[in-house]
Amino acid sequence: MNLQIYISDEQGINERKIDLFPSDTINLNQSIQSLRDLTKVFTDFTQSFKVPASDSNNATFKHYYQSQIDDGFDARTKRKARIEINGITFKLGKMQLNSVGIKSNKPEFYDIQFFGNTIDIKDLVGDDTLRDLDTLDALDFEYTDSNVRARLETNANVSFSLTSYAKRFLFNSDGNVNTPESVNIKYDPTYTNGIDWKDLKGYVKVSKIIDAIEQEYGFTFSRDFFGRAEFQQLYMSLGNGKSTRELLSENLLGEYNRVVFRGSGSNYIQNSYIINMPVSNQAVDYRLKIEVNGEVLFQTGIVRGNINIRFNQQNAPTGNYNVKYYIEAERAMNVTPRLRLESVNFPLGSSTLIDETVSITTLNPTFKVSESIANIKVLDWFSAILKSFNLVIVPQPNGTLYVNDLNSWYLQGAILDVSDYIDISTLQVSRGELFKEISFKYEDTPQILAAEYESTFGKQFGAEEISLLGLATDDTLEVKLPFENPQFERITNSLVQYAYIVDGELAPYDNKPFLAYLPTLLLDRSNRIGFNTDSSYIALNQANVPSHSITLSGGFTAQFADEFSEYNRTSLSDNFYSRFYKDYFDDLFSPKRRKYSFDAAFPPLLFSKIEINDRLIIKGERYVIDNIDTDLITGKTKLTLLNDLFETLIKTETSSTLSEKFGVFNDAGSFYYVGGEQIAIAFTDDDFITIDSQPPLVSFTLSENATLADRVGVIQIQDGLSDPTFVVLQPFNDFRKLAFDSNQITFDNTNITF
């Protein structure tokens, strides 16, 4: 291979070619992601290698071995780099300088390493938590009964659902049967107690947290998976049973700058801060606060109605005072308080520094997602999403990050027949990776229904545990999410399902967040729900209800195990495990699973096309790639492959693909087909094409081209899906038509020109 490596300057604009040792070894490694670390981003990398300390390389690395040089090469960071093979750009990435070798006081080599394009999510995110995502502020809204009701009746980016963290919901016609532990939510115009709008804590769309992470850290994730319905409609709970934070709006009543001084002969100073507060609405909760020089000096508890307060500050210091009076209210109301500050020099007398009556209308408070969301590290949360759906992340040349589930990613790979480039004379066959136990778990939860389920069945609700006895391994694999998974409840004698998040003592607890879908349930007249606003008791004709499945009737379910629906008792068999993991682990533990090690020598053009999710055909057998290790100087490659047992990769019901769509052949060729089972082959120009084998491996031979021109034929697969076509180009070869009358060739002169 003709290998060339380029490295950019600090600005990433201008490139310099790096001189290479003519006989050195430069190995590029491409590997499948490990299930043990799903936050790891796919990347290609080389083992460190040496390049000569030539004049050009010394200039590129700015004589790094001389530390006294100002504005020298910064080896603390990676530089943009490019690998070119035979004049074609092969890989884009970054180059890292590791060290310089010195011999006899002269530089001998630079030790460098190449990394494919990647984004180190861990380094960028650090220890930030979800509450540090300032971009979540875009989801905040005015916290009023009308806004909560609207988000309870229909889905929004931040929604509410029938979820109780204290009282059990009942649904009966026995009147006001409410107790401190329960509330009847069935609507009846003669009742007075339904769901209190302030008791609802909210849910946020998981996709909006992804959006916030993108904006906060500059990532661009593809929407191959993040745009799918099962992800876009998924929510995460906000708040918990122990959070009793009042949602209040802070309103400045007045700000004053005054000087407090001590008179000659006085013993000490006492400041008296006074607020006389008449209010227009006696039912509104509020709190008063006094702040001096940026620190809270005094605040009341939550109060209602008219109040008068006086706070005495004994032995007050002299100096400049910045005084602020605040009211924090649960909703808008008119207030006309009188604000005062009296300063007394004992025993000399008093003076009034502030005395003003103001009139304002308080604002409605803001529901801030960042204050309600779980205090989980961003990296842990993001890792949990990857684990739930078995997602892969692959950096793209344009800087975006391709995100998709493992099976879909494999389906987007090509199928390449590489038989001609594989050395099968030496072959190593071994078993694949094995685990004795595999478990998919949640955080432990004391939630009353989930705890009862675990006590009865010996496993977490929604968790999946697989034990394989007799395997020659002690390795285990655990996938654990930082969420709990409560069991929901359909209320007797109603269409309504709700989440009752209390422990076995029917008490609130500090619950972890949980995932749920919030389908909107339409309610007929006999199933309407009573709802208390600030001023009235009304009927809800529809409401969002928590559900593990995307609809109450079933469909995809955001948990690992095949459980029965709490709503209609149907089996929820389409879930995290069955859709995103089962094929992988069925193949992993299949007695037919093998791991193969091949030696290969790929031509540069083919090598540059192979991606880690491609499937390779070798002598009629199909493999998935586990690892590729290539010497970029010689082109020699070591392949670690797994025989392809993925069922979802063999059968597709909506599309079909070919390993190649075009080829140039003299005598024979082949390509691979993936798609339907009911197929037929039809082709044009079939007078020179003979089909030798049927799909999935289609091989063909060509008759000799005696037309004195290139000719083209088309092989079409008729499958009722995409009906793919393969174009065959057979060139005319002039050397086949050369003929001579004798064994001697003579020329008129000694010069031969072309």
Taking the C-alpha atoms of residue 356 and residue 749, their distance in angstroms, rounded to an integer, is 118
Give the pLDDT of residue 133.
95
Residue at 568 is within a domain: no
Q: Is residue 376 part of a domain?
A: no
682 and 605 belong to one structural domain = no
Domain boundary among 364, 394, 427: 364
Structural tokens at position 297? 């000096």
Question: In which band, very low, low, confident or very high, does the pLDDT at 745 lie, cut at 50, 70 and 90?
Answer: very low
Q: How far apart are CA 117 and CA 243, in angstroms?
A: 43
Percent pLDDT > 70 in the chain is 91
User: In what helix (H) or strand (E) does residue 177 lie, and over which residues does it extend?
Assistant: none
Q: What is the pLDDT of residue 190?
A: 84
The model's pTM: 0.78
Assign 591 to helix, strand or coil: coil
Q: How many domains would you assign to the chain?
A: 4
Residue 287 in this model has a pLDDT that exceeds 70: yes
Q: The domain containing residue 323 runs over which residues?
A: 249-364
Residue 647: predicted pLDDT: 66
Tokens 């796919």, residue located? 42
Residue pair 356/258 in contact (Cβ under 8 Å)? The answer is no
Asked if 260 and 350 sit in the same domain, the reply is: yes
Burial 109-146 (b: 16+ CB within 10 A, else e): bbebbbbbbbbebeeebeeebbbebebbeebebebbbe
Q: For 694-717, write each residue's pLDDT tens digit.
A: 877 788 898 888 888 888 888 888
> Are 646 and 665 in a shared domain?
no
The pLDDT-based confidence of 418 (bands split at 50, 70, 90) is: confident
Query: Three-class SS of residue 216?
Result: helix
Pick from 719, 715, 720: which is nearest to 698 by CA? 715
Residue type, position 688, single letter = F
Q: What single letter denotes the amino acid at residue 392?
A: V
pLDDT band of residue 501 (cuts 50, 70, 90) is very high
Q: What is the CATH classification number for the domain harbouring 634?
A: 2.40.10
What local confidence, expressed as pLDDT, does residue 55 receive? 93
pLDDT of residue 376: 95
Q: What is the average per-residue pLDDT within 556-566?
A: 95
Amino acid sitting at position 166:
A
Domain CATH code at residue 700: 2.60.40.10
What pLDDT is recorded for position 653?
A: 45
Residues 347 and 258 in one domain: yes
- Decide if pLDDT at 739 tops 50: no
Of 91, 88, 80, nearest to 28 by C-alpha is 91
The mean per-residue pLDDT over the stretch 682-698 comes to 77
Residue 527 DSSP label: G
Asked if residue 76 and residue 12 are part of one domain, the reply reads yes
User: What's the CATH code of the domain at 268?
Assistant: 2.60.120
Name the residue type at position 747: F
**Per the domain annotation, does 582 fall within a domain?**
no
User: 350 and 262 share a domain?
Assistant: yes
Decide if 487 is inside a domain. no
What amino acid is encoded at 89 in this protein? T
Is residue 60 domain-resident? yes
Whether 366 shows a pLDDT value over 60: the answer reads yes
Say how far apart CA 538 and CA 530 lie, in whole Å: 6
Same domain, 15 and 65: yes
Is 388 among the domain residues?
A: no
The string of DSSP letters for 448-517 reads HHHHHHHHHHSS-TT-EEEE-TT-S---EEEEE-SS-----EEPTTSS-EEEE---TTS----PPP-EEE
- What pLDDT, in 10s, does the model give residues 567-612? 999 999 999 999 999 988 888 778 888 899 999 988 877 777 788 8
> Do 615 and 718 sit in the same domain of this protein?
no
Last residue of a domain, one of 315, 347, 364: 364
Q: Are residues 640 and 695 in the same domain?
A: no
Considering the domain architecture, whether residues 626 and 682 belong to the same structural domain is answered as no
- Does residue 359 share a domain with residue 284? yes
In a domain, 222, yes or no: no
Domain boundary among 117, 134, 156: 117
Could you count the other beta carbons within 10 Å of the beta carbon of residue 495?
16
How much is the average pLDDT of 91-120?
86
Other Cβ atoms less than 10 A from the Cβ of 238: the count is 21
Together in a domain, 619 and 715: no
Is residue 69, in this structure, part of any structural domain at all?
Answer: yes
| pLDDT of residue 328 exceeding 70 | yes
